Structure 1
């Protein structure tokens, strides 16, 4: 009988993993560093559409990733990634040793090619430096998952019934709702990281998610909305919701019905006009979740800033070169502070990243002054600074990238209702939808779920199909009020890299006030004034 893949495998293979790494360090000449990641995921999912079950499944996944730094004349990396199945369990030790040997061969070949190029191109070749890792504290630790209902114990039939019931309630929420799609997921994963430096880190994570998409029609207008709730917890969060100081949402059933009613209301609203000038905008925490993601999070990923993904994803306006950057310079209003913090709860929480670095908060903007980037050990060695634990991969078979943890705008001191009441005429921008961002993140256009006109400090007419656009720096410099109502939201699908890695993480912030142009679905016009 073929053995099953379960998270318990991680405990059993620890001695084997350490033995394989030790043998490689002793046998392979020129090997400077090796690390190995092994990941097991046990998950279940269910889908419903328009009140009927659509699909369901459960699976177990096993993946392996190896990194080796090696070379004599110069040092370069070599990587191996494997997706494994149950039939591979009896051959796991051989596969580990083969992966280490293959990564070593790739590293030495890359090192030889790099050394040849350095000699061939003279002064230009000096840019081909050794691959180095900044030092970190070496840990041996075990971190358990947090849940009340173990994802492995949830019956698939129960998940199908629940998703179908939610879909039926969404369909009945408003006559304008013509289509809905419901997705539920619950899983338990366990990761092992080990290195020739002596690290041995065992981390487990529970994750449960609910997603709802709806389409509402009113007259000639149709409107679609999609939103997600989720947490690193068990199935209980969909049934009961979460009431955490930073992460709060209702039970998934109520969440989905509310989204359907919002879509119906918006479908009947007029489209937002575009403006031909900047206007006062007050943005809510949900909208600022995507703003923090797009104009703070991505441009402060140091691999991106160092142009390691320029051809595919772009660069960062915060760094043009090693000697030309914004560190220490004012890039925002003194009211703006932004940071990434893996210790916060939610999708972006973890204790160690995928090279064993203890994760910690890194401040990007401190009262308007740019302070630094998310990094990895390699990019910290290039740019300087202490590694802060943001090298993460979607799966063990993929090479990690610098990724957001919980990247947010910090809370201010103002009551959100006071921020709004001070506006004689402006626009309240609530709920995020879709981003459009410049190549170096120097300007943005992000659409909202709802936009209200503000008159004399009160919300007025509701508009659909619009958002705001601005130069990133100008927008941040114009912030003149920051609320105390900080919220953290899950982002289920941040894409980066080739091949594409889709990662779950956290973003958020409080209510904020600034200036921007309205980006609506009608032609630019002089929008109504006070």
Structure 2
């Protein structure tokens, strides 16, 4: 293959070769029971500005391959290979992937031998070690195009630089209490190819565009730092026109940043919230619930976490202690609470197939208060004897996939959110999320809010800064007594998991909710 510039169109040229290597070449590796190959190409551009001056701008690409093999003559185990690539690798790509398949296969054989020896050495305790198997799935051959109006590759880099610089400058000039602004934006096209020895041949393309705003303001209550993101699986139009869809609603990027700067100015003059030693009534808006559902529902319903496969670096799940002690089929929330993960919803968490070719589908975690299940992979689904649900994703093709959220959300209710507030004699309204602090097994949480308002006789009152709530997870969910119909989705662009760390873009959200919790704040 002649050397050329790297574009997502490279997938069209290499797809037959990748499929052939996954299906035919794999058969030449003695003892290899299964193999899959993932190839990813990204084309993107970005710019950032600080205090009204251009900070950086770039146009770049990424190209990577990841390979998995399941091998063994008796005991079967997995082996992996991953590598970031460049244009110079195109001429020898077939050889790189053949070498990678052999490498993954040899690792799998070594793992299988060690697993077999360990099983024999530890007697009945060794019976816990079993051959790695993948739960069966329907095998697909499909092409999924990206959705956009303005192709991310067509946007002049100068336009991105100008937009971020002008927004940074105008936000800084908005009010003398604004002391620092950092504005960044990117738009990219990502294309992923998945081929397996079972015959899968899946080609998915995604457009992603995101704007990030970071504001520092200083006033009589001290310094306030606010940051937030807007983004969607669409083209450059996300930032220039905003998004007005049923579940995703953002103004254009200029208005978004102006609003955040105004909030920072208001907060730097607001009184700090004082913590309480008793529970109070709290209403949380959809943006706040975005981080809350992420931390107390999303992560603890990842089955690799629940099965203790990542305990040493990411924690466990209070929902599943062992096969005898767990919350499956039990009430963990009020009957008003439902929560699920759904890759068919729009936004950052949308996809049709995960990274082992399993079609994504809605996974109910809480169904009217009853805990009903986990996100899984084919391997973890096989362990529990349940169907795979398409939740196995990697941040980059060169990395091993992990069980990840898609769009993990609290389901909508039927109440008018304003009525939920009007019923409260005294309480607090939390708007927007900031920083989480979560226990190792996610059984309790503390999450700060961007803004906290006091509620008096059903009316929104004084604004407070530096506040949030903390609660036992189950107690908090059981105390939910009102759920709004204002369901919204927001991007989470920086979810970290794994070792080495994989930072993944996904979606979270929900409606307005009312419960009880302790207030956190400033004790001085």
Q: TM-score, normalised by structure 2?
A: 0.99
How far off its partner does 1:390 sit? 0.6
- For the pair 1:81 / 2:82, whether they are aligned, the reply is yes
User: Which residue of the partner structure matches residue 158 of structure 2?
Assistant: 157
Mapped partners of 1:304, 1:261: distance in 2: 40
User: Which residue of the partner structure matches residue 527 of structure 1?
Assistant: none
Mapped partners of 1:362, 1:344: distance in 2: 12
Report the 3-state secondary structure (helix = DSSP H, G, I; strand = E; otherwise coil) of the residue aligned with 2:24.
helix
Report the 3-state secondary structure (helix = DSSP H, G, I; strand = E; otherwise coil) of the residue aligned with 2:42.
strand
User: Which residue of the partner structure matches residue 102 of structure 1?
Assistant: 103
Deviations 1:377-410 (A, max 9, x none): 0010112321110100000000000000000000
Mapped partners of 2:20, 2:247: distance in 1: 42
Mapped partners of 2:127, 2:167: distance in 1: 61
How far off its partner does 1:460 sit? 1.1
User: Which residue of the partner structure matches residue 518 of structure 2?
Assistant: 517
User: Which residue of the partner structure matches residue 470 of structure 1?
Assistant: 471
Mapped partners of 2:250, 2:285: distance in 1: 16
Report the 3-state secondary structure (helix = DSSP H, G, I; strand = E; otherwise coil) of the residue aligned with 2:433.
strand
Deviations 1:407-456 (A, max 9, x none): 00000000001000000011111110000000000000000001111110
User: Which residue of the partner structure matches residue 197 of structure 1?
Assistant: 198
Mapped partners of 1:157, 1:322: distance in 2: 57
Q: TM-score, normalised by structure 1?
A: 0.98
How far off its partner does 1:264 sit? 0.1
User: Which residue of the partner structure matches residue 180 of structure 2?
Assistant: 179
Mapped partners of 1:142, 1:518: distance in 2: 49
Contact 1:209 1:230 in 2 (8 A): yes
User: Which residue of the partner structure matches residue 494 of structure 2?
Assistant: 493
Q: In the TM superposition, what are the counterparts of 1:59-138 in structure 2 within 5 Å?
A: 59-138=60-139
Mapped partners of 1:485, 1:173: distance in 2: 31
Mapped partners of 2:112, 2:84: distance in 1: 26
Contact 2:296 2:473 in 1 (8 A): yes
Deviates more, 1:14-23 or 1:40-49: 14-23
Mapped partners of 2:16, 2:417: distance in 1: 54
Deviations 1:447-490 (A, max 9, x none): 00011111101111110001000000000000000000011000
User: Which residue of the partner structure matches residue 418 of structure 2?
Assistant: 417
Q: In the TM superposition, what are the counterparts of 1:396-475 in structure 2 within 5 Å?
A: 396-475=397-476
- For the pair 1:383 / 2:369, whether they are aligned, the reply is no
Deviates more, 1:79-88 or 1:171-180: 171-180
Deviates more, 1:302-311 or 1:22-31: 22-31
User: Which residue of the partner structure matches residue 526 of structure 1?
Assistant: none
Mapped partners of 1:220, 1:515: distance in 2: 27
Mapped partners of 1:481, 1:43: distance in 2: 43
Mapped partners of 2:430, 2:22: distance in 1: 53
Mapped partners of 1:518, 1:333: distance in 2: 21
Mapped partners of 2:24, 2:488: distance in 1: 48
Report the 3-state secondary structure (helix = DSSP H, G, I; strand = E; otherwise coil) of the residue aligned with 2:275.
strand
User: Which residue of the partner structure matches residue 363 of structure 1?
Assistant: 364
Mapped partners of 2:363, 2:221: distance in 1: 48
Mapped partners of 2:416, 2:65: distance in 1: 49
How far off its partner does 1:322 sit? 2.1
Report the 3-state secondary structure (helix = DSSP H, G, I; strand = E; otherwise coil) of the residue aligned with 2:504.
strand
Mapped partners of 1:2, 1:51: distance in 2: 40
User: Which residue of the partner structure matches residue 25 of structure 2?
Assistant: 24
Q: Structure 1 residues 220, 367: CA separation in 2 closer, same or farther (over 3 Å shift)?
A: closer
Gaps (5+ residues) in structure 2?
none
Mapped partners of 1:355, 1:219: distance in 2: 54
Mapped partners of 1:221, 1:308: distance in 2: 43
How far off its partner does 1:23 sit? 3.1
How far off its partner does 1:128 sit? 0.8
Deviations 1:169-188 (A, max 9, x none): 11122221100000000000
Deviations 1:472-515 (A, max 9, x none): 00000000000000110000100000000000000000000000
Mapped partners of 1:183, 1:142: distance in 2: 32
Mapped partners of 2:450, 2:212: distance in 1: 16
Mapped partners of 1:273, 1:399: distance in 2: 45
Contact 1:143 1:204 in 2 (8 A): yes
How far off its partner does 1:153 sit? 0.8
Contact 2:146 2:204 in 1 (8 A): yes
How far off its partner does 1:15 sit? 1.2
- For the pair 1:288 / 2:289, whether they are aligned, the reply is yes
How far off its partner does 1:220 sit? 5.5
Contact 2:36 2:67 in 1 (8 A): yes
Contact 1:322 1:383 in 2 (8 A): no
User: Which residue of the partner structure matches residue 216 of structure 2?
Assistant: 215
How far off its partner does 1:2 sit? 4.3
